[in-house]
Amino acid sequence: MPNIAVVLKQEVSRLARKEIRSQAESFRKAAAQSRRAMAAMKRRLAELERRIASLEKRTPDGAARVNADSATGARFSAKWLSAHRKRLGLSAADYGKLLGVTGWSVYGWEHGKARPRQQQLAALVAVRSLGKREIKARLKGKSK
């Protein structure tokens, strides 16, 4: 006949393992869920980094990011643009060179057929503060 102490010890060990297994199951599920969430976040991060890299390739020298910040809150008026260009005595092509766009873009803005983008609006804000002499000097510098 086996020793009762040995049998009792084996039964206590078996019950303890069973209880530990049931308690650890909830922790195991939580850990698996956390790993899945972290993997999803890593995939999302990689996707966003690819998008950023793609957008940075399209932006020349980061100039758009710097200039676009100065145009926040600026309003655009087609009438004002036309009057300002005429006041300076510039053709649409020259005004476009000054802004870094074509003369057709300036023509479209003046006639309300299009609106300038944020970067171009920033250039308009910068030109707004310049005088005739400084604009003429800049145009001479750009034509060379």
Write out pLDDT tens, residues 55-66.
888 765 444 444
Question: Are 54 and 74 found together in one domain?
Answer: no
Q: Among candidates 115, 86, 96, which has minimal Cα distance to 104?
A: 96
User: 135 is in which domain, residue-wise?
Assistant: 67-143
Q: What's the confidence (pLDDT) of residue 1? A: 57
Question: Are 79 and 127 found together in one domain?
Answer: yes
Question: Are 54 and 73 found together in one domain?
Answer: no
If one counts the domains in the chain, the total is 2
What does the alpha-carbon distance between residue 106 and residue 94 come to, in Å, rounded to a whole number?
10
Domain end position, chosen among 37, 58, 79: 58
Mean pLDDT for 13-37 is 93
Domain end position, chosen among 16, 34, 58: 58
Question: Are 37 and 85 found together in one domain?
Answer: no
Residue that the structure tokens 């000054």 belong to: 98
Q: What is the pTM of this model?
A: 0.49
